[in-house]
Amino acid sequence: MTNVQFIFNVKDKSILLHNLLLQNLQKKKASLVFCRDKYELEILSENLWTSSVINFLPHKVNEPYDNELIILSDDRIDWLDDTLINFSDSMIDGFNRYLKLIELVTDSEETKEKARDRFKFYKDCGYKINSVDEKQLSVNLF
């Protein structure tokens, strides 16, 4: 069964995502990042390639797994099954194929309200849910 992790009050989702992806890469775990639309996907992709000369994160965009450990998608999620990171603020159909789902929730009230609905859905379906405030994250939480 999928392990669901909510991270609340995220100040900058891109920075947190970068750290989560680096952590997964170090563990040789694959990650699929689900974006809300093509615009968000393109910005995130550019950021992952250029955010650091040392720590750029090679990835595929809307393409199947081909020895890449990071895939960004705004469409499909059926290419991997290890870690799914929800960069959007909507429910992702088929999330339960993954071992881990990480929900990134900013501090805006609209985003929190949508996250509460997803939280309730997961809980009502019997998923194990962990939640933490971004300020209380430890380096090896995942």
Residue 142 lies in a domain: no
- Residue 73 predicted with pLDDT over 90: yes
Residue whose structure tokens are 């992702």: 92
Residue 9 lies in a domain: yes
**7: which DSSP letter?**
E
**Residue 53's pLDDT is what?**
55
Residue 13 lies in a domain: yes
Go through the chain and tell me how many residues it has. Answer: 142
- State the Cα–Cα distance between residues 3 and 15, nearest whole angstrom: 22
Question: Rounded mean pLDDT of 92-98?
Answer: 95
Domain that holds residue 95: 3-136
User: Do 72 and 17 touch, CB atoms closer than 8 A?
Assistant: no
Indicate the number of domains in the chain: 1
- Residue 138 predicted with pLDDT over 90: no
Question: Rounded mean pLDDT of 105-109?
Answer: 95
Higher local confidence (pLDDT), 54 or 140: 54
Residue 87 lies in a domain: yes
Q: What is the pTM of this model?
A: 0.90
- Residue 104 predicted with pLDDT over 80: yes
